[in-house]
């Protein structure tokens, strides 16, 4: 029985995908339609692949049909085949009917691949429309160029921003000219031992000079401070937004800012943070003594993004190194499995893998599922694609005080999984969960299918290094 489901926030700005309304021989018109599909339009991965194959056969008989090329490109993007999507984009960039939207989509692909310099150039080269401005906001967020955010939007565009985007813009603007995440090193790396792994890994950090225990969760974006600790530290809210959590539950989250975050032999200055209420059911205990460990925060992907980060589960330690070529080369030369990933939205690290041998599936590596059995969370369409059947007898609802930051009270089904593979990593005889992921998360911000999440029970067997420059993970 899980004690806690997910600490992460499913926050996307849901920038529209562009679809084409055109027939050969007619005037081509590009219109925006949301990347969120209605339930009737939600196809599983296999159905999208069949649709692509059918359209490619049509294209072979009519290779100059730009409307069909655009349509196939969108389906390839939905399927997560970024290289194929880029191939179909190339002939559209010089076509006046498609150029602006093809340029924007090319920028999206570069953003996903972590090529923020090229993505920025593409979004600035295109039209000064709202969706391009929003993507620039997220580029400056990822690259720590907060001061550029203030000049992005005109008055009319500001009125059209979502509440979550306004909150992010307000947070970034509040930094003025201060550089977020400034690093101060005392050694060539920082090593934080795990205090406990009875639940998720717990480490001790210094927050504005005070010692605080936090658990590690790549499902969280910014460093998260428990509301009571935030009051003790005198933190004030810069902006607020509504986060969506496990089971589709929501909770109000506040953005704020730390003066310092000490992580062993490295200290970060001017750190953006989230403030949130932690459910009472989130109980951590010492493996040796059984005593309760007070937890006042979550160490997250937003912090890990500042480093060459290694979560060494076998050695029970977190290792942080500077993002320098010499360290990155050392990691790339290690034995192990090197697996490319993309970064969607603010913090969704997505890899490709397989469930029960069904290849090409996409998984967010979210380390924050505190469950003694379950390794993977899946969407309904992913179950269909992998040939998995739901068993009603395994369906139950966690209490309201159990779940993510939004609480429980939603139905969950456990189901056996024969195998899960990511690159050369292969595990057999696993347990999966259905019902945790909000249905709307089946399509990410860019419109790509997200089949599921891989979490702690899968990841805990490895020494896991994340290189945000090479966009490569190494598992040993």
Q: In the structure, what pLDDT confidence band is assigned to residue 101 with cuts at 50, 70 and 90?
A: very high
Residues 342 and 317 occupy one common structural domain: no
Domain assignment present for 139:
yes
Question: Is 408 inside a domain boundary?
Answer: yes
Q: What is the reported pLDDT for 178? A: 97
The per-residue pLDDT of the chain, averaged, comes to 89
Confirm whether pTM is higher than 0.75: yes
pLDDT of residue 29: 40
Q: What are the DSSP calls for 223-245, one per residue?
A: EEEEHHHHHHHT---SEEEEEE-
pLDDT of the residue at 390: 85
- 251 and 195 in a single domain? The answer is yes
Same domain, 134 and 195: no
103 with 199, same domain: the answer is no
How does residue 114 score in pLDDT terms, banded at 50, 70 and 90? Answer: very high
The Cα 295–Cα 217 span in angstroms is 13
Q: Of 265, 293, 322, which residue is a domain's last?
A: 322
**Residues for the chain: how many in total?**
476
Say whether both 353 and 306 belong to one domain: no
pLDDT beyond 90 at 218: yes
Tally of domains in the chain: 3
- Report residue 409's pLDDT band, with 50, 70 and 90 as the boundaries: low
- The answer to whether residue 429 scores a pLDDT higher than 90 is yes
Mean pLDDT over 329-344 rounds to 93
pLDDT at 234 over 80: yes
What is the DSSP secondary structure assignment for residue 93, as one 8-state letter? T
Buried b / exposed e along 57-93 (16+ C-beta atoms within 10 A): eebeeeeebbbbbbbbbbbbbbbbbbebbbebbebbe
Q: Are residues 414 and 377 in the same domain?
A: yes
Q: 456 lies in a domain?
A: yes
Report the pLDDT value the prediction gives residue 397, as an integer from 0 to 100: 60
DSSP output for 292-327 = EE---EEE-HHHHTTSEEEEETTTTEEEEE---HHH
3-state secondary structure of 426: strand
> Would 54 be classed as within a structural domain?
no
Give the confidence band of 38 by pLDDT, cuts at 50, 70, 90: very low
- Asked if the structure places residue 121 within a domain, the reply is yes
**Residue range 217-245: mean pLDDT, rounded:** 90
- Does 314 share its domain with 188? yes
Residue 350 is part of which domain span? 338-475
Taking residues 140-149, what's their average pLDDT? Answer: 98
We report the CATH number of the domain holding residue 348 as 2.40.70.10
Of the segments 35-39, 330-334, 362-366, which one has the largest average pLDDT value? 362-366
Task: Look up the CATH number of the domain holding residue 122.
Answer: 1.25.40.10
End residue of a domain, out of 174, 206, 225: 174
Tokens of residue 401, six digits: 């005080």
Please give the structure tokens belonging to residue 381.
């369409």
- pLDDT(459) > 50: yes
Q: How many Å apart are CA 152 and CA 234, to the nearest integer?
A: 31
What integer is the mean pLDDT of 289-295?
A: 93
Distances in whole angstroms, Cα of residue 269 to Cα of each of 143, 255, 296, 347: 16, 16, 19, 20
pLDDT (tens digit per residue) in 6-32: 444 444 433 334 433 333 333 334 443
Residue 44 located in a structural domain:
no
CB neighbour list of residue 423: distance below 8 Å, 6 or more residues apart: 337, 338, 339, 351, 353, 475
Q: Which candidate, 449, 452, 441, places its Cα nearest to that of 14?
A: 441
Do residues 318 and 207 both lie within one domain?
Answer: yes
* H helix and E strand count, the chain: 13, 26
Look at residue 35 and tell me if it is in a domain. no
Of the residues 139, 174, 209, the one at which a domain ends: 174
pLDDT > 90: what percent of the chain?
76
Token pair listed for 419: 């195998």
Residue 310 in contact with residue 324, Cβ under 8 Å? no
* pLDDT tens-digit readout, 348-390: 999 999 999 999 999 999 999 988 899 999 999 999 999 998 8
For residue 48, being part of any structural domain is answered with no
Residues 300 and 342 in one domain: no
Q: Which of 197, 195, 193 is nearest to 372 (CA)?
A: 197
DSSP 71: H
* Same-domain pairing of 345 and 272: no
Task: Name the pLDDT band for 332 (thresholds 50, 70, 90).
Answer: confident
Whether residue 214 is found in the same domain as residue 311: yes
Residue bearing the bigger pLDDT, 200 or 248: 200
List the structure tokens of 166: 């306004």
Q: What's the pLDDT score for residue 410?
A: 65
Which residues sit opposite 226 in a β-bridge?
276
Two tokens, residue 8: 């992460």
- In a shared domain, residues 169 and 270: no
Mean pLDDT across 72-79: 98
Q: List the beta bridge partners of residue 275.
A: 225, 254
């Amino acid at each position: 029985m899980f004690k806690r489901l997910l600490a992460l926030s499913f926050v996307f700005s849901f920038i529209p995908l562009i679809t084409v309304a055109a027939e050969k021989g007619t005037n081509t018109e590009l219109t925006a339609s949301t990347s969120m599909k209605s339930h009737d339009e939600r196809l599983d991965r296999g159905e999208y692949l069949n649709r692509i194959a059918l359209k490619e056969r049509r294209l072979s008989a009519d290779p100059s049909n730009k409307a069909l090329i655009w349509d196939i490109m969108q389906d390839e993007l939905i399927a997560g085949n970024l290289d194929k999507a880029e191939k179909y984009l190339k002939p559209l960039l010089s076509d006046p009917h498609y150029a602006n939207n093809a340029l924007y989509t090319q920028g999206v692909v570069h953003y996903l691949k972590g090529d923020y310099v090229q993505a920025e150039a593409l979004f600035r080269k295109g039209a000064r429309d709202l969706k391009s401005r929003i993507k620039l906001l997220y580029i400056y967020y990822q690259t720590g160029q907060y001061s550029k955010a203030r000049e992005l939007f005109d008055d009319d565009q500001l009125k059209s921003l979502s509440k979550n985007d306004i909150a992010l813009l307000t947070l970034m603007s509040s930094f003025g000219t201060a550089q977020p995440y400034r690093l101060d090193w005392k050694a060539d790396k920082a090593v934080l031992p795990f205090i406990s792994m009875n639940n998720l890994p717990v480490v001790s950090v210094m927050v504005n000079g005070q010692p605080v225990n936090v658990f590690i969760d790549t499902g969280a974006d910014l460093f998260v401070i428990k509301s009571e600790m935030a009051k003790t530290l005198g933190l004030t809210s810069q902006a607020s937004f509504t986060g969506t959590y496990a089971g589709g539950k929501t909770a109000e989250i506040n953005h704020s800012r730390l003066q310092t975050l000490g992580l062993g032999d490295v200290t970060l200055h001017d750190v953006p943070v989230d403030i949130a209420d932690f459910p009472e059911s989130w109980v951590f205990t010492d493996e040796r003594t059984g005593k309760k460990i007070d937890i006042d925060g979550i160490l997250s992907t937003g912090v890990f993004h500042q480093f060459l980060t290694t979560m060494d589960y076998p050695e029970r330690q977190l290792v942080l190194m500077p993002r320098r070529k010499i360290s990155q080369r050392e990691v790339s030369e290690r034995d192990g499995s090197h697996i490319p990933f993309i970064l969607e939205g603010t913090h969704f690290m997505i890899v490709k893998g397989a469930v029960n041998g069904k290849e090409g599936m996409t998984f967010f590596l979210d380390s924050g599922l505190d469950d003694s059995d379950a390794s993977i969370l899946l969407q309904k369409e992913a179950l269909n694609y992998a040939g998995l059947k739901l068993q009603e007898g395994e369906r139950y609802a966690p209490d309201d005080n159990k779940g993510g930051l939004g609480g429980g009270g939603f139905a969950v089904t456990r189901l056996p999984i024969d195998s899960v593979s990511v690159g050369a990593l292969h595990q057999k005889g696993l347990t999966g969960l259905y019902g945790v992921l909000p249905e709307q998360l089946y399509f990410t911000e860019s419109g790509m299918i997200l089949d599921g999440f891989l979490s702690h029970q899968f990841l805990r067997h490895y020494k896991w290094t994340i290189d945000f420059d090479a966009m490569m993970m190494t598992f040993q």
